[in-house]
Amino acid sequence: QVQLVESGGGSVQAGGSLRLACASSLKFSGDHCLGWFRQAPGKEREALAVRNKYGSAAYVDFVKGRFTISRDRATNTLYLQMNSLKAEDTAMYYCVAGEFDCFDGSWSVASAFRYWGQGTQVTVSA
């Protein structure tokens, strides 16, 4: 069954903003790490931001100050607010989840996350 469903992607001009959403049917009782990855054509998947069960977040350097990860526990939805978008942000964006502590050293490793959404495309025109 579908467990992570992304939405909110689209086309935007450079400098614009988008907010991605990830609706989750997953329920975790222990440590868990929620986050966002992206993959551009011809490139490897790269981690963008994660958030642990306590609300602590981590970001890859190239999105710091531009992207913000947040979570609505009431609706079990994860968000990624993306501002000051650049052409190089064009990619397929994926919501991810795993049953581990984000800050155990593996949050930037794609294979550490068991659950992946189907992705939502973000296209930024220069």
| Alpha carbon distance, N-terminus to C-terminus of the chain | 38
- Predicted confidence band of residue 2 (pLDDT cuts 50, 70, 90): confident
pLDDT beyond 80 at 44: yes
- Predicted confidence band of residue 14 (pLDDT cuts 50, 70, 90): very high
pLDDT confidence of residue 124: 98
Task: Report the relative pairing of strands 77-82 and 18-24 from DSSP bridges.
Answer: antiparallel
Q: Residue 118's Cα: distance from chain center in Å?
A: 12
Residue with structure tokens 């929620």? 34
Residue with structure tokens 């607010």? 81
User: What would the pLDDT profile of 47-104 be if each residue is shown by its tens digit?
Assistant: 999 999 999 999 999 999 999 999 999 999 999 999 999 999 999 999 999 999 999 8
Residues 6 or more apart from 39 whose CB is under 8 A from it? 45, 46, 91, 92, 94, 119
Structural contact between residues 37 and 98, judged by C-beta atoms closer than 8 angstroms: no
Q: DSSP labels for 43-79?
A: S--EEEEEEETTS-EEE-GGGTTTEEEEEETTTTEEE
